[in-house]
Amino acid sequence: MKLAFSTLGVPGLPVADVVRLAAEHGYQGVELRTHPEEPVHPGLTPAERAVVVEEFKGGGVEILTLAGYVRVAAEGDDAPVLAELAELVELARDLGAAHVRVFPGGGGQDPAEADATAARRLGAAAPHAADMGVRILLETHDSHRAGADVARVVGTVGHGRIGALWDVMHTWLADEEPAASHAVLAPHLGYVQVKDIASAEDTAPLALGDGVLPLKACLDVLDADTWVCWEYEKRWHPGAPELPGLLAAGREHLLRLGAPKQ
């Protein structure tokens, strides 16, 4: 199992400090939240991008993903969505990130229409992603919360550079069993986001193991080389405990679960 954490848990933290936290606490990778309020975003100059690359290289930490906010099923014209996605893919190429994360964002549309929109846009973006050596991952989230929802879209696209990101909270909220989520996502799976919460009504982040999410059941079905990323949503819950103080125990908890099986 290869471990990463998301910078959603340390909003605004300088890149050098993110790298230091990962290296000191035994995380091999980082999922970078890519937003204008963060240190890493598509507005970086080539020189600034090179500095980010050197920081991660020097610390021996991988940039697993750029977590963007493109909503591929959203209503409206395709052009601005594809342009935003192309910027993210190019930034990922420049930084050496393997993946770009996108959301469904289908809202209240008819599910078939949302599926078609997402598949069309992802299919249009796939050749550029292939040219850049980057994989676009559609997260189990919002309008496509279940693994079956995301698998339906990604399977329709049918391109190796379009995959799935399994957020275990959202599939749980969709009442989908971990084994069922994995069964449909496995052919497309990029990696898995783990977290913990108190209940379906209280989704403020908790230390791993302190909540109700079936983390062991999710990890037990994974292959041994799957990346597992802790997404601690501090950005949306400023009253939550600080992530740096939880990183060591979180890593140990994931390792104690004994999954994926060797």
With 50 as the cut, is the pLDDT of residue 261 above it?
no
pLDDT of residue 258: 64
Which pLDDT band, with edges at 50, 70 and 90, does 259 fall under? very low
Q: What is the DSSP string of the chain?
A: -EEEEEGGGSTT--HHHHHHHHHHTT--EEEEE-STTSS-STT--HHHHHHHHHHHHHHT-EEEEEEEEEETT-SS-HHHHHHHHHHHHHHHHHHT-SEEEEE---TTS-HHHHHHHHHHHHHHHHHHHHHHT-EEEEESBTTB-SHHHHHHHHHHH--TTEEEEEEHHHHHHTT--HHHHHHHHGGGEEEEEE---S-SS------TTSSS--HHHHHHTS-TT-EEEE---GGG-TTSPPSGGGHHHHHHHHHHTT-S--
Q: pLDDT of 85-141, one tens digit each?
A: 999 999 999 999 999 999 999 999 999 999 999 999 999 999 999 999 999 999 999
CA-to-CA distance for 90 and 93, rounded, in angstroms? Answer: 5
In single-letter form, the type of residue at position 153 comes to V
Q: What does the pLDDT average to over 66-94?
A: 98
CA-to-CA distance for 193 and 262, rounded, in angstroms? Answer: 20
Note the CATH architecture for domain 2-256. Answer: Alpha-Beta Barrel (3.20)
Q: What does the pLDDT average to over 183-189?
A: 98
Average pLDDT, the chain: 96
pLDDT of residue 68: 97
In terms of Cβ atoms closer than 10 Å to its own Cβ (0-12, 13-18, 19+), residue 223 is exposed
With 60 as the cut, is the pLDDT of residue 240 above it?
yes
With 90 as the cut, is the pLDDT of residue 215 above it?
yes
Q: What does the pLDDT average to over 37-58?
A: 98
pLDDT of residue 27: 98
CA–CA distances in Å: residue 232 to residues 61, 144, 184: 19, 21, 25
Q: What are φ and ψ of residue 49, in 5° steps?
A: -65, -40
Residues above pLDDT 90, as percent of the chain: 97
Residues above pLDDT 70, as percent of the chain: 98
Which pLDDT band, with edges at 50, 70 and 90, does 262 fall under? very low
With 70 as the cut, is the pLDDT of residue 260 above it?
no
